[in-house]
Amino acid sequence: MGESYPRLVGDIGGTHARWAWLPRAGAPLQQVQVQPCVHSASLLASAREYLAAHRLGQPRAAAIGIATPVTGDEVRMTNHPWHFSISELQRALGVERCLVINDFTALALALPVLGADEVRAVGRGTAVAGAPIGLLGPGTGLGVSGLLPAPDGRFVTLSGEGGHVTLAATDDREAAVLALLRGRFGHVSAERVLSGGGLVNLYDALARLDGVAPRELQPADVTRAAVDGSDPHGAQAVRLFARVLGNVAGNLALTLGARGGIYIGGGIVPRLGAAFDDESFRQGFEHKGRFAGYLAAIPTWVITAATPALVGAGRALDVMPA
């Protein structure tokens, strides 16, 4: 598809818009830029600002992964006010093809081309070649996707909203936390806990359960407290976050039969480092009764690559039908 170059590729989350330029087939991403979403009036404005800032020419195609369901021409973000028509965006950008997909569908497309130095293993397990692969990741929200093997040897990507499944407790402490969160939100989805805001929700609930007035913290404050030990409830929140993420990842592995492994993306986990790499995640992942052994054999990795969803967005133009 050399005729579809140069390409504008985007990875749009609830907080940041990431853009890059692909001048030709096989070229690495160029002019990668991260822009706060709040600095632009719309997705189109963000794209135009990026193109103007780098004095780039007219793209022939655009591919954008975005953190929301994409079910038709009208797209409205879940965790940000931007909304737009794909067909109108295509006309405004002047591109021959404009592909808009879920951001974790884009990230899933990057998994087959990630290098060994772009992931970090957490726990044990060995991938089974050709088996389904699962993907999830907390950031502003919780993204979920995966890859299913096709008869021709390639993979088919999943596009869903698994981050909004109902969260279940695995012990009394978790049940008490979820009871507090139900009082605030009514429905407690996985995203209410496994996201930046979810980290704060966990911290707040754990402090209240222990009769301590919670401080006004941002997600970065909670992770910092876990890393430097400055707040015991911050440390508890990160350990519980890791265990719950393991639980949800284990559910995904069982649902997909993901013996090819589970990948953890998103912006939060890579920043936690050793605070995430203790036993909490794998304990939550493997704690599935009679299927503990099945899950113990499945490997899990944290994605450490800088902009993998941009790579996946570029690949989407080649592997997804027009």
pTM, to two decimals: 0.93
> What is the b/e burial string over 198-208, where b = at least 16 CB atoms within 10 angstroms of the residue's CB?
bbbbbbbbbbe
pLDDT digits (tens, 9 = 90+) for 5-63: 999 999 999 999 999 999 999 999 999 999 999 999 999 999 999 999 999 999 999 99
What ranges do the domains of the chain cover? 2-103+307-319, 115-304
Q: What pLDDT is recorded for position 1?
A: 43
Q: What pLDDT is recorded for position 274?
A: 76
DSSP letter, residue 166 = B
All residues at 6 or more sequence positions from 281 whose CB lies less than 8 Å from its CB, including other chains: 122, 123, 242, 243, 245, 246, 249, 300
pLDDT digits (tens, 9 = 90+) for 144-170: 999 999 998 889 999 999 999 999 999
Cα(119)–Cα(11) distance, integer angstroms: 19
Do 2-103+307-319 and 115-304 agree at the fold level?
A: no
Q: What pLDDT is recorded for position 2?
A: 45
CATH fold of 115-304: Hexokinase; domain 1 (3.40.367)
CATH classification for the domain delimited by 2-103+307-319, as one of 3.30.300.20, 3.40.50.300, 3.30.420.40, 3.30.1330.50: 3.30.420.40
* Residue ranges, the chain, pLDDT below 50: 1-2
Q: Verify cis geometry, omega within 30 degrees of 0, for the bond prior to 299.
A: no
